Amino acid sequence: MCGIAGLISLDRTPLPEDTGRQLSTMSASLAHRGPDDSGQWISPDRHLGFAHTRLSIIDPSAEAHQPMVSKDGNVLIFNGEIYNYGELRAKYKLAVPPSDTAVLLALLERFGDKIIPDLRGFFTFAFWGASTNELLIARDAIGKKPLYYSTLGSVLLFASEARTLIRSGLVRPLVSADAMRKYLAFYAVPHPLSIFQGVSTLPAGSVLRVKSDTVSISQWYQLPEYSPTAIAYPEAVRETRRLLEESVRYRLVSDVPVGAFLSAGLDSNAVVGLMAREVSKPIETFSIGFHSKNVASETEMARIGATAFGTRHHERIISGEDVAALLPKFFSAMDSPTGDGLNTFLVAHFARAASPSLKVVLSGVGGDELFLGYRKYRWLAQHKKLAELVWSLPAGLRHRFARLLPKDTGSRSATAVRALLDPANIRSLFSAEEITSLLANSSSESYKSYRTYVPKPDLQSIIEHDLQYYLHDTLLRDLDQMTMAHSLEARAPLLDKELMEFAWQLPIELKARGGSKQLLADAVRDVIPNEILEKPKSGFELPMHEWLLRGALKPELDLLANGNLALIEEGLLRKEGVAKVHRDFITGHSHYLKPWSIIVLEHWWRCHADQTAR
């Protein structure tokens, strides 16, 4: 795992003499992503420069140093892992060191971007072809590793983090008003936007190509069109198990030990249970818990799994005071504001503290999207005839009914009904009207097109929406940001491309069978303790409501009540709108995520105030 950055002159005019200093500054901002090594390369004609920071996992020798330059003058910087590099090296008889970077460089020299579909792994990379005078920048199919870019006149810059482009001194640090609106709508900034004006996110499965002075973006991968597979349930169970075993085996490819985040849930226990069968030494596993009267801690159930799998288990009970003390580091870790990354930050922080040499962890992220884990999915699948009847009604009529529903009740059935009536609002936090009242210098006219993607009124489209946006822009971005802030590489076996495509094409009725994620449970039934298999579905949730309302995080909530926000002083948010968010929460009329998302935005702004302006 690494950090990459670079810049290229589109008209071949030599870059400034201080380009090396700019690259050093960009590289320094990525040091947490790669503390083991760093390097730079500037082309002889000084029209292109690369920077790289390295977290050494596969082939930690000096031979794998980057930027990697071939004997033919081609250059590669690479962030991620290619798990099947050994197979590709043998298949194409490549006379290169046993390093995924060296193999990738040789493959790109021979095949160009046509080789990308054969890569089993996760990545962003930039490849300069000396003979073709072409720059290729690519992201993996699922979007596990980020890439941001900006074009300024005749110069294109790119990096693993958006703030790296700001710290180059070339990109003006202006916050995008559109991104602010969408952050409030979705508590994350959806691609292809970034939080900054003029900085874009390269979509998953994309290639950005620079040839002469032309910049183009194309998709090398898209989720296949849904065409349900004709398959019997027992066969689906067997194939799920085969693909999952293969995925876990690939994600153990490493020259350093691999640990895992372990919760009480089926997903992480399935991953750790299968990991334990593949290794000869105990795996290190990491869990966090807390004391709360209202939210169940997961440590006891995680301990059951750890005991069954024979892991070296590390458990940490955290308090609201612990979280309050760590908030400055959490906010500083954010490349982009997010309402949903605190739990990942905390488990990564305590994993690093418990095992300072740890570099790689496996995560169970993705199981709910693949195997119908969310209650609203299951409710809609189990009420198929009702859903089809409602979805046949005119959209305007459904939207009017949706507005009549009680807001912010937290009821799972109400959430499913709202998704049924108005799929476009399935992941929305603040409504368009609320956003209008929050943002200064805005009107309701600003929100006619604030949605990036509106799912069609059917369950498969709603799942596709979550895979393409919620998974990409929230779950995976948070996993990357919060683990890399601790120099940890997180791997996600449940989001292996082959496994994901198989699960995507399974009939909804098959995935809705039995209890929550029954198909996945049956695929690992011989591995997982019964206590975990029989446990009711529950997502990992911190007791944020009580910590904000009357606990150690109340001072953060009080900021909203007294209007003491830099965002208000800067004229970005309206004091009256913020006060209403506070009032609705303390009177029990809204979910904690609404005030929390404002608190996050405020602290993200303060952390980056020295680089950020309106």
Lowest mean pLDDT among 185-189, 245-249, 396-400, 454-458: 454-458
| Closest to 205 in 3D by CA, of 189, 190, 188, 223 | 223
Residue 478 φ/ψ region, left for φ over 0, alpha for ψ in the -120 to 50 degree band, beta for the rest:
alpha
Contact status, residue 69 vs residue 102, Cβ threshold 8 Å: no
381 three-state secondary structure: helix
Contact status, residue 246 vs residue 473, Cβ threshold 8 Å: no
Sheet containing strand 284-290, edge to edge, reads 312-318, 284-290, 258-261, 360-362, 489-491
Q: In the prediction, which pLDDT does 538 show? A: 67
Written as six digits, the tokens of 169 are 């001194």
Q: In the prediction, which pLDDT does 499 show? A: 97
Q: What is the mean pLDDT of the chain?
A: 91
Contact status, residue 51 vs residue 15, Cβ threshold 8 Å: no
Q: In the prediction, which pLDDT does 198 show? A: 95
At residue 605, φ and ψ (nearest 5 deg) are -60, -45
Lowest mean pLDDT among 134-143, 288-297, 356-365, 539-548: 288-297
- Determine the average pLDDT of the residues in 321-350: 96
- Determine the average pLDDT of the residues in 564-575: 93
| Closest to 25 in 3D by CA, of 195, 175, 196, 166 | 166
Contact status, residue 137 vs residue 96, Cβ threshold 8 Å: no
- Determine the average pLDDT of the residues in 301-310: 96
- What angle separates helix 384-391 from helix 375-382, to the nearest 10 degrees? 90
Q: Is the pLDDT of residue 123 over 60?
A: yes
Q: How confident is the model at residue 447 (pLDDT cuts 50, 70, 90)?
A: very low
Rounded CA-CA distance 287/305 in Å is 11
Task: Give the pLDDT confidence of 344-385 residue by residue, as tens digits.
Answer: 999 999 999 999 999 999 999 999 999 999 888 888 888 888
- Determine the average pLDDT of the residues in 410-416: 61
Rounded CA-CA distance 562/584 in Å is 15
Provide the 10 A C-beta neighbour count for residue 172.
14
Q: In the prediction, which pLDDT does 173 show? A: 87
pLDDT over 70 for what percent of the chain? 94
Contact status, residue 27 vs residue 53, Cβ threshold 8 Å: yes
Task: Give the pLDDT confidence of 227-273 residue by residue, as tens digits.
Answer: 999 999 999 999 999 999 999 999 999 999 999 999 999 999 999 99
Q: Is the pLDDT of residue 133 over 90?
A: yes
Measured CA angle at 406 (ends 540, 419), to 5 deg: 60
Task: Give the pLDDT confidence of 183-238 residue by residue, as tens digits.
Answer: 999 999 999 999 999 999 999 999 999 998 899 999 999 999 999 999 999 999 99
Task: For the chain, state the CA radius of gyration.
Answer: 24
User: What's this model's pTM, rounded to 2 decimal places?
Assistant: 0.94
Q: In the prediction, which pLDDT does 450 show? A: 44
